[in-house]
Homo-oligomer: A and B are copies of this chain.
C-alpha cells in the first residue's frame, strides 16, 4: 500500500516550495512569473510520479467540490433513469461528478437529502421537487446556490426550471381520443398537487369540455408497495365498465393499468383504448402497441445541464430565472379504427 503523494512530497523532491508547485499546477505560472524551465521540470516530475491533488483538501480550501447533487423521484423509474444517465454523461464531460438520490416525493426525506448535499458542499442542485419543499429550495437560492428544477416547478419559488408542456400534451392526447369517437374517457393518475400533475389534469379536462363530454378523474395515492396501487385501480376499472378509453398520467400508473387489463382479460384498444404519459419499451412492445406521450428526455437533460453549468460559471450575474418548456410527442400507435362495442 504505497502512501499517496502530497504536494509537499513533490516540493521536497524537487527542492522547491509547495507554493510554487501549486501555482504551476493551477496554470498560474505565467501570471506568477515562474521560470519556464522550472515549470517544465515540475510538470515532468508530476506526470512521472502520477501525482494528483487531494480533492478534499482542495475543496476545503476553495469551497468548490465539483459535484452536482441530483434528486429524482425514483431512479428505478425508466423516465428518471434515462434522464439521470444523460445528465451524468454531460456532467462528467464538464468535470463534474454526480451524487444522486431518490426522493420518493417524500418531503421529509427530501429535506434530509438537501441537508446532506449541503453538508457535502455540492456546487449545484438539480431537483425534481416534491410538494412542500418550497422553503428549503428558497433557502438554498438565498444562500446563492445554483438550483435547477425539472419535470415540475414550484409556482411560488423564482428559479430556473425545465419541463414539458403538460397541459397541451394531455389536451392533445384527449382530443385524439375524442376525434376517434371515444365517448367515455377517464383520466387516471397519481394524487398530487405538483405542477405537472395539475397541468395534466387540466389539459384533460379542457379537452373533455371542448368535446362536450363528461370528465372522470381517478386519483390513486402513490405507494412503494405496488399492490396498494393495483387494488384501487382494479376496483375503479371494475366499477366503471362503461369506459371506452383511459388516459394514464404517468408511465408507472400506465403500466399498472395494463397489468390490470391483462388480469381482467381486457384488450387495448378493442375493449378499452389506452394512452399513457411517458413513452417506454413496455408501450412500444405491447401488442398491440400503446399510444404514448413521449417526453424529449435528451432535450430535457441537455437543457438542465446547460442551464446549471451557465449558473455555475458566472454565479456573479444573477439574470432572470429561465423557464424552459419543451414539446412532447404523441406517439400514435393503435391508430386503428375505433373498435368499441
Contact = CB atoms under 8 A, between A and B. Distances in A.
Contacts of A56: 56, 59-60, 65, 120-121
Contacts of A2: 143
A85 B75 contact: yes
A142 interface: yes
A73 to B, nearest CB: 11
Given A78-B78, A99-B97, A119 B286 contact: no
A29 interface: no
A59 B120 CA distance: 10
Interface residues of A, number: 47
A23 to B, nearest CB: 21
Given A259-B284, A282-B285, A287-B287, A75 B97 contact: no
A270 to B, nearest CB: 12
Given A55-B119, A102-B88, A285 B284 contact: no
A65 B54 CA distance: 13
A120 B102 contact: no
Contacts of A98: 99-101
Number of copies: 2
Interface centre among A55, A76, A99, A286 (most CB of B within 10 A): A76
A128 interface: no
Contact of A99 (B89, B99, B282, B286): B99
Interface centre among A52, A101, A144 (most CB of B within 10 A): A101
A78 B81 contact: yes
Contacts of A81: 75-78, 81
A337 interface: no
B78 A75 contact: no
Given A78-B78, A81-B76, A1 B144 contact: yes
A61 to B, nearest CB: 9
B120 A97 contact: yes
23 contacts: A1-B144, A52-B115, A52-B119, A55-B121, A56-B56, A56-B60, A56-B121, A75-B75, A75-B84, A75-B85, A76-B78, A76-B81, A76-B85, A78-B81, A88-B101, A89-B102, A92-B101, A97-B101, A97-B120, A98-B99, A98-B100, A259-B284, A282-B282
Leading 7 A-B pairs by shortest Cβ distance: A76-B85, A81-B81, A76-B81, A76-B82, A56-B60, A287-B287, A1-B143
Interface of A: 1-2, 52, 54-57, 59-60, 65, 74-78, 81-82, 84-85, 88-89, 92, 97-102, 115-116, 119-121, 142-144, 255, 258-259, 262, 281-282, 284-287, 289
Given A1-B142, A262-B287, A262-B289, 9 more contacts: A1-B144, A75-B84, A75-B85, A88-B100, A92-B101, A97-B116, A255-B285, A285-B286, A286-B287
